[in-house]
Amino acid sequence: MYLSNYFLPILKNNPSEAQIKSHQLMLRVGMIKQSSSGIYSWLPMGFKIMKKIENIVREEQNKIGAQELLMPTIQSAEIWKESGRYNDYGDEMLRIKDRQGREMLYGPTNEELITEIFRSAIKSYKLLPQLLYHIQWKFRDELRPRFGIMRCREFLMKDAYSFDLNDDDAVLSYNKMFLAYLKTFQRLELSAIPMAADTGPIGGNLSHEFVILAESGESKIFADKRIFDIKTEKYSLTNVSLKNMRNEFEKYYAVTDDKFNNKDFESKVLKNNRLITKGIEVGHIFYFGDKYSKALKASVDLQDGKKTDVKMGSYGIGVSRLVGAIIEAKFNNNIMKWPYSISPFDVAVIPMINKNDDTNLIKAENIYNKLKKNNIDVLLDDTDENISSKLKKFDLIGVPYQIILGKNSEQDLLEFKEIDKEAKQLSINEIIKILTTKKK
Amino acid sequence: MYLSNYFLPILKNNPSEAQIKSHQLMLRVGMIKQSSSGIYSWLPMGFKIMKKIENIVREEQNKIGAQELLMPTIQSAEIWKESGRYNDYGDEMLRIKDRQGREMLYGPTNEELITEIFRSAIKSYKLLPQLLYHIQWKFRDELRPRFGIMRCREFLMKDAYSFDLNDDDAVLSYNKMFLAYLKTFQRLELSAIPMAADTGPIGGNLSHEFVILAESGESKIFADKRIFDIKTEKYSLTNVSLKNMRNEFEKYYAVTDDKFNNKDFESKVLKNNRLITKGIEVGHIFYFGDKYSKALKASVDLQDGKKTDVKMGSYGIGVSRLVGAIIEAKFNNNIMKWPYSISPFDVAVIPMINKNDDTNLIKAENIYNKLKKNNIDVLLDDTDENISSKLKKFDLIGVPYQIILGKNSEQDLLEFKEIDKEAKQLSINEIIKILTTKKK
């Protein structure tokens, strides 16, 4: 992509309406545009990053055997009356009347609808377990939307739901998802820690919030800091391994403020290990047994002819919110560096272009074509801005690798720089090798 | 995927509520499930097919340089008041009041919102042309939703918008999109013909509907049948080539009923070439000049310091509707055959499994693993249904290639069958070669 063609409306200054750095950066580099209060359009660069995150989330769901489907955004109120949540939900639910006067709503979550899909399709214990998910826009009519896409009204989530025969099987599903979440956040280069959490209006008694540390976080967390050192690579999808993983995490106190108890904290955590800080919730998993299956009559036939209500869990990841969370974690000292796995481009080519001298631009175009031929996604800054403005701009765009064609690039040795690190002089073939290896 | 694990709730019989074959088949094989009137959930197989279609649409948009972004589903009424369409739109617009009492709506289309995005970002003629698109769910509150996802309320569309400096440039954008549409439908193995169409409430005077022939179609069409023989492979994205392409299509009378004029038809089309039939609209493109840019003040600065309203076009493809349209075109005599490019699986392995004899199942699993290793997406029917029921079921599922492990498979020679064609006896390596070649 040539920058002059790219729909990337960069602002000269930080927008005054934004209080936290993710909101500032996203408006500043034209990743999003507010369309109305708490509702945003995703412009090409923001959209591309979000899609890459979505895809990592999807791949990790597929790896544990979850099957993707898609529920609609607009739901009938009927099924929410069956579960009893239609009145409970309050003003955050966007309630709608259609032209026939029927009560509808924009789904704030999907336990009811997925239970209805399950109950109409699965009648026998033989077809359990089932693990279904979708990635869909939701709407919550926040009283005070703020912080850009971090606390907005229309947002993209991955929601998964598990259906099992009994508690043991259900906990196995829960643990698989627990591991999938750890792997998902690792691929996003985030250290997201599972914290014991309250289940709130979803119900049930087993729940974890996955939280990344950030000053701007809205969740207060209390943890034994050794929980951050757990290595998860050794765990696999077997029942035994997953139990060991859960046990290792349970060893360390780590809770959100709903669950906080000071006596527990002080007795279980040595002073030196105590961490009290703020975090951003990026995922939340719940096990709530038969809460919805009972209300909605989602039962299966057993071998002995009896019926039993299935045991359910639900598992959310805030896909659009992760874009902001990653910025909160990675944007420091006015320099953004996207994790390579979700970077909008693999590399930026930044030529110093002098008036009446297109030598560097031609050289840049040759490099661009060579990179393209090697399947490297490249952004070429072909504008006539001066080089120091360009470099400042690319600090915000956050492409993690740069090829700078200025006074430090000579003939076949190019100035190659990982953002926030020292520059090197490398040949184009060496650069291609580095970028290709990173991609794997 | 093993069929016994796949969330594919197949019905024994055709559902009585469905009148057209796409609606019947989609409910029958568990591709969709109605959640409320005119609103559907997409179950895993339906979802997978729709996603593959979406991706082909996306790739062809990217090839002509269109940039993807994403506008939200919920819009403020404000901008629709600016354009003057808020009152015009009528009851098909789903109107919503949020908790603050603000007038909102579920976007039935996006001319207003994209114009607002454009005008806030692009101020100079130097940054033209712009070609932006998104793939997003829309809602139209149909009075009588029917025919399953063909005429439903919540549906997925690709909407593109072009912004140009003058009419000539705008027609070039229009023609690029025209060619992108022909290529998109070709990849879906559909013969979709551009018909001169009325612009309706979108406005403007240049418009084409892309229509595929089908008994169940709601559009009546009148055409010179020679238009079906035009070869489009020879055309490319240059201005001259695109003009030639448009000229070749203009040679033949082809209109929807809004534009139909019997005198014209009879004078321009020889009796033998006249085709009067029904079709399904799968795409619609419009050029409407400054209709929205004027109302919404989307102008750019010219070289001489003056301003001019940009010239706009809009370009839609019904992504979810295409799933149904393809079934209408390809499902005949109770046999479905998905185009390979969007098939839910590359091949099905269908073993005849006798009680107390798992020879064929073990053989099937070996074949399955070998195919998987070669990146072939395979569905294995590991159920204990009898072979003739299995084959009938697979006629409906529509995976275009089958490996049948029954009496015609011996040792290393397997019964390999393209649906609706003669079976062959081939080795697994020959089969892998055929499937891998098809994928390219």
All structural domains of chain A, each given as residue ranges with its CATH number in brackets, are 3-330 (3.30.930.10), 345-439 (3.40.50.800)
Helix and strand numbers (H, E) in chain A are 13, 21
> Is the dihedral angle over the CA atoms B258, B264, B265, B269 positive or is it negative?
negative
- With a CB cutoff of 8 Å and minimum separation 6, the contacts of B258 are B197, B198, B200
Query: Using the beta-carbon criterion (under 8 Å), do A5 and B65 form an inter-chain contact?
Result: yes
Which residue from A194, A199, A189 is spatially nearest to A286, judged by alpha carbons?
A199
- CB of B143 less than 8 A from some CB of A: yes
Q: Do A39 and B68 touch (CB under 8 A)?
A: no
Q: Which residues of B fall within a CB distance of 8 Å from A43? A: 69, 117
CA distances from B3 to A275, B338, B377, B379, B414 (A): 48, 18, 13, 6, 20
Strands (E), A20-165: 32-36, 39-42, 67-68, 74-76, 94-97, 103-106, 130-139, 154-164
**Nearest-CA distance from A116 to chain B in Å?**
9
pLDDT at B214: 85
Q: Are B31 and B43 within 8 A, CB to CB?
A: yes
Q: Which two tokens stand for residue A52?
A: 């890459």
Q: Supply the pLDDT for residue B282.
A: 96
CA distance A276 to chain B (A): 35
Cβ separation A74–B39 shorter than 8 A:
yes
The whole-number pLDDT of residue B310 equals: 98
Beta bridge partners of A347: A378
Q: Cα(B223)–Cα(B273) distance, rounded to whole angstroms?
A: 8
CA distance B132 to B300: 17
CB-based contact (8 Å) between B308 and chain A?
Answer: no
CA–CA distance, B304 with A201 (Å, rounded to integer) = 62
By the CB < 8 Å criterion, does A30 face chain B?
yes
Determine which of B3, B35, B89, B296 to mutate to test the interface with A (most A C-beta atoms within 10 Å): B35
Which residue matches tokens 């279980």?
A268
Candidates B8, B11, B95, B104: best to mutate against A (most CBs of A within 10 A) is: B104
Window 39-78 of B: residues touching A by CB (8 A cutoff) are 39-44, 47-48, 50, 65, 67-76, 78
Mean pLDDT score of chain A: 95
Q: Which residues of B touch A153 (CB under 8 A)?
A: 74
Beta carbons of B378 and B368 less than 8 angstroms apart: yes
Interface ipTM: 0.96
Minimal Cβ distance to B72: which of A35, A68, A92: A35
Tokens of A104: 């509808």
Residues 6+ apart with CB under 8 A from A306: none
Give the pLDDT of chain B (440 residues) as one tens digit per residue.
999 999 999 999 999 889 999 999 999 999 999 999 999 999 999 999 999 999 999 999 999 999 999 999 999 999 999 999 999 889 999 999 999 999 999 999 999 999 999 999 999 999 999 999 999 999 999 999 999 999 999 999 999 999 999 999 999 999 999 999 999 999 999 989 999 887 776 667 799 999 998 888 888 999 999 999 999 999 999 999 999 999 999 999 999 888 899 999 999 999 999 999 999 999 999 999 999 999 999 999 999 999 999 999 999 999 999 999 999 999 999 999 999 999 999 999 999 998 888 899 999 999 999 999 999 999 999 999 999 999 999 999 999 999 999 887 777 899 999 998 999 999 999 999 999 999 87
Length of chain A: 440
What are B135's two structure tokens?
Answer: 């793939």
Check CB contact of A33 with chain B, cutoff 8 Å: yes
Q: Region of B97 please: left (phi>0), alpha (psi -120 to 50) or beta.
A: beta
Residues B209, B281: contact at Cβ < 8 Å? yes
Show Cβ contacts of residue A358 under 8 Å, excluding neighbours closer than 6 positions: none
Residue A199 reports pLDDT greater than 80: no
Chains A, B: CB contacts within 8 A come to 140
Q: How far is A134 from chain B (nearest CA, A)?
A: 10
Cβ neighbours, 10 Å, residue B368: 21
Q: Which of A186-200, A222-236, A415-429, B296-310 has the lowest mean pLDDT?
A: A186-200
Question: Residue A215's closest CA among A339, A319, A327?
Answer: A327
> What is the predicted pLDDT for the residue at A205?
79
Would the CB atoms of A137 and B73 count as touching at under 8 Å?
yes
Interchain pair B7, A121: CB under 8 A: yes
- Please judge whether A94 and B91 are an interchain contact, meaning their C-beta atoms are less than 8 angstroms apart: no
Between A33, A73, A92, which is nearest B154 by CB? A73
CB proximity list for B134: less than 8 A, separation 6 or greater: B68, B69, B70, B71, B110, B158, B159
Query: What DSSP designation does B310 have?
Result: P
Closest CA to B92 of B148, B135, B42, B145: B145
pLDDT at B113: 97
Q: pLDDT value at position A4?
A: 95
DSSP state of A153: S
Burial class of residue B362, CB neighbours in 10 A (0-12, 13-18, 19+)? exposed
Q: Across the interface, do B35 and A6 touch by the CB < 8 Å criterion?
A: no
3-state secondary structure A204-245: CCEEEEEEEECCCCCEEEEEEHHHHHCCCCCCCCCHHHHHHH
- Using CA atoms, how far residue B314 sits from A355, B110, B199, in Å, is 38, 9, 11
Mind telling me how many Å the CA of A228 is from chain B's nearest CA? 36
Q: Do B68 and A91 touch (CB under 8 A)?
A: no
Structure tokens at B281: 């609209």
Whether chain B has a CB inside 8 Å of the CB on A124: the answer is no
- Rg for chain A, CA atoms, rounded: 25
| Rounded to 5°, angle at Cα A426 from A423 and A428 | 125
Whether the CB-CB separation of A344 and A399 falls below 8 Å is answered with yes
Contact residues on chain B for A130, CB-CB shorter than 8 A: 7
SS3 A292: helix
C-alpha A56: how far from chain center? 9
Q: Answer for the pair B328, B214: CB distance below 8 angstroms, yes or no.
A: yes
Predicted pLDDT of residue A202: 66
Q: Measured between beta carbons, which residues in chain B are less than 8 angstroms from residue A78?
A: 36
Chain A's closest residue to B77, CA to CA, is: A36
With CA atoms as reference, report the closest residue to B336 among B318, B348, B352, B319. B348
- How much of chain A is helix, strand and coil, in % rounded to 5? 40, 30, 30
Cis peptide before A129 (omega within 30 of 0): yes
Of B48, B70, B91, the CB nearest to A47: B70
Which residues does chain B have within 8 Å of residue A104's beta carbon, measured at their own beta carbons?
A: 36
What residue in A sits closest to B11 (Cα-Cα)? A121
Q: Which residues of B touch A96 (CB under 8 A)?
A: 94, 96, 106
The alpha carbon dihedral of A279, A284, A285, A287 has a sign of positive
Amino acid at the residue B179: L
Distance between CA atoms of residues B131 and B240, nearest Å:
20
| Cross-strand pairs, B354 | B357
Q: What is the rounded CA–CA span in Å between residue B46 and residue B27?
A: 10
Is residue B194 a contact partner of residue B282, using CB atoms and an 8 Å limit? no
The structure's pTM equals 0.97
User: What is the C-alpha to C-alpha distance for residues A320 and A157, in angstroms, rounded to an integer?
Assistant: 7
In chain B, the residue whose alpha carbon lies closest to the alpha carbon of A103 is B36
Nearest residue of chain B to residue A142 (CA atoms): B99
* Structure-token match 């403005």, residue found: A389
The predicted structure's pLDDT at residue B202: 66
Residues 259-278 of A with CB under 8 A from B: none
Question: What would the two tokens of residue B156 be?
Answer: 């997925």
Nearest to A120 among B33, B69, B106 (CB): B33
Are the Cβ atoms of B104 and A36 closer than 8 angstroms? yes
Strand partners, A349: A380, A403
| Region A45-72 average pLDDT | 98
Give the nearest partner residue to A98 out of B48, B102, B141, using CB atoms. Answer: B141
State whether B47 and A69 contact (CB < 8 Å).
yes
pLDDT, average across residues A169-188: 97
SS3 at position A124: strand
In this complex, the residue of A70, A92, A96 whose CB is nearest that of residue B41 is A70
Determine the residue of chain A that is closest to B37 in CA distance: A76
Task: Count the Cβ atoms, other than its own, within 10 Å of residue B440.
Answer: 4
Q: Do A9 and B121 touch (CB under 8 A)?
A: yes
Three-class secondary structure of residue B255 per DSSP? strand
Q: Give the tokens for residue A376.
A: 């490297």
